[in-house]
Amino acid sequence: MYQSQDSKIHVMSPTAKAKKSELQTALRAARENERRWREMHDEYLTDQDSEEQWAATAKLRKLEVERLEALLGETERE
C-alpha cells in the first residue's frame, strides 16, 4: 500500500523577501554599531557621567539588535 505524505511548501512573496532582506541588512548594521560601541568603552571611562552615558547607549544598541532579531525571526516563521 502506498501512502503519500503531505509536504508543506513555504513560498515567500516578493514583498516578504524584500522585508526579510531589509531586516537582515539592518541587523548586520546594528550588530556592527554595537560592536564598535563596545570597543569605545575605554574612551568613556574618564568620569562617572561619561561611563553612565556609555552604558545607557550600549543598552539601547543591544535592545535594537534584539528587536531586529525578533522581527527577523517573525518573518522566518511566516
Residue 71's identity, in one-letter code, is: L
Residue 9 to residue 13: CA distance in whole angstroms:
13
Cell 560601541 belongs to which residue? Answer: 37
The SS3 of residue 4 is coil
Please say if the pLDDT value at position 4 is more than 90: no
pLDDT in tens, 5-54: 544 455 567 788 889 999 999 999 999 999 999 999 998 888 999 999 99
Read off the pTM.
0.75
